Amino acid sequence: MPAHYIWLFFAILTETLGTTALQASQQFSRLWPSLATVVFYGMSFYFMSYALRAMPVGIVYAIWSGLGIVLIAGIGFVLFGQKLDLAAVLGLAMIIAGIVVIHLFSNTNTH
């Protein structure tokens, strides 16, 4: 696996952890989750900067944000008891389909 995909994976992972900590911070009213939010988002942008060395910004951002949305929706469902209706599940499936199309068929994506 190319290094830029590993950096992108870590960027997505830390963004997801940051957003989870943001929910746990209760609007920045709890110190440790609030600090974790800032640290994880900082790490995410740092890792993303390495992915940007080999991939176009639009592609990196599409994959980073799309997979982050899907992962956060799953975490919200499992950890925070947030419900996903059929429309939400279909929308998330379309995000995944869009990422697959970018990865498999776009000439701007670095393989």
- Residue 111, pLDDT score: 53
Q: How many CA atoms, within 13 angstroms, populate the side-chain half-sphere of residue 3? A: 6
Q: What is the pLDDT along the chain (111 residues), one digit of tens a residue?
A: 899 999 999 999 999 999 999 999 999 999 999 999 999 999 999 999 999 999 999 999 999 999 999 999 999 999 999 999 999 999 999 999 999 999 889 887 665
- Residue 106, pLDDT score: 86
Domain ranges within the chain, ordered by starting residue: 3-105
- Residue 14, pLDDT score: 98
104 dihedral zone (left: phi>0; alpha: psi -120 to 50; beta): alpha
- Residue 18, pLDDT score: 98
